[in-house]
Amino acid sequence: MNTTFLKPVQGRKWILLLFLSVWFLGNSQTKLRVEPGLLIKTQSENLGLSFNVEPHLEVSTRSVIGLRFGIAVNSQEFETISGTRFFIDEENDNAVISFVPTFDYYLNYAPTRPYLGVGVGYYLLSTVDVSQGIETILDGSIKNQLGLLLRGGVELRNTRISLEYNLIPTADIQINNGEVVGTVKNTYLGLSFGFTIIGRKSSI
């Protein structure tokens, strides 16, 4: 798997993410959920997997805010520009890392709670190997992107099942001299299974 991220989060984005992380983790009312999952609609032909960690906080009986840290493996589709002399490695695994502030709204206040959620966040895209001939291997860099998260599902006390649609713009693939050699589609749909591990609700 190529998991090099050439363009890290910079400046104000780092400060904002750090502030949100400290605020959530420092709040005594914060709960923590982990979410393994499968990608059921991706741009890749390889097996797609996901894993999220999300501290979250109830702001009312039906409203919850959170900060989702996620990774999606094999969610991308690479395409070489027609007529180029370069080739893009589409067989190796790829990964997208995300930092997304979230808002969930629950449709009732009962043990079984359907909900809808939304988020806007930052998606870090891994590099990809680009070849020119047999021996020359170059790093193809991809600019990180802002993306939209739409989700919905059902929560039963300390577990939840969720469909998550991550809408991420298509991005160019550039080599070191700035030449664009291809594009990558990043949008994916995942099915996740969440388990609250800190701040669990009583079973009574």
DSSP code of 18? H
Residue 192 domain flag: yes
- pTM of the predicted protein model: 0.82
pLDDT at 36: 97
The CATH number of whichever domain residue 76 belongs to comes to 2.40.160.20
Residue 6 domain flag: no
Q: Which two tokens stand for residue 105?
A: 């709204």
Residue 5 domain flag: no
pLDDT at 86: 75
Of the candidates 172, 146, 11, which has an alpha carbon nearest to the alpha carbon of residue 84?
172
**42: three-class secondary structure by DSSP:** coil
Residue 115 domain flag: yes
Residue 111 domain flag: yes
pLDDT at 6: 43
SS (H, E, C) 68-85: EEEEEECCCEEEECCCCC
Backbone angles phi, psi at 129, to 5 degrees: -75, 130
Residue 2 domain flag: no
pLDDT at 19: 65
Number of domains in the chain: 1
C-alpha distance from residue 47 to each of 4, 19, 93, 128 (Å): 20, 34, 9, 17
Per-residue pLDDT of the chain (204 residues; tens, 9 = 90+): 555 554 444 556 666 666 666 666 666 688 899 999 999 876 667 789 999 999 998 899 899 999 999 999 988 888 887 766 777 776 677 889 999 999 999 999 888 999 999 999 999 988 787 877 666 667 788 888 999 999 999 999 889 999 999 999 998 888 888 888 888 888 999 999 999 988 777 654
In sign, the C-alpha dihedral spanning 85, 91, 93, 97 is positive
Domain residues for the domain of 46 are: 11-196
Residues in contact with 40: Cβ distance below 8 Å, sequence separation at least 6, in sequence order: 48, 189, 190, 191
Residue 201 domain flag: no
Contact (CB, 8 A) for 131 and 167? no
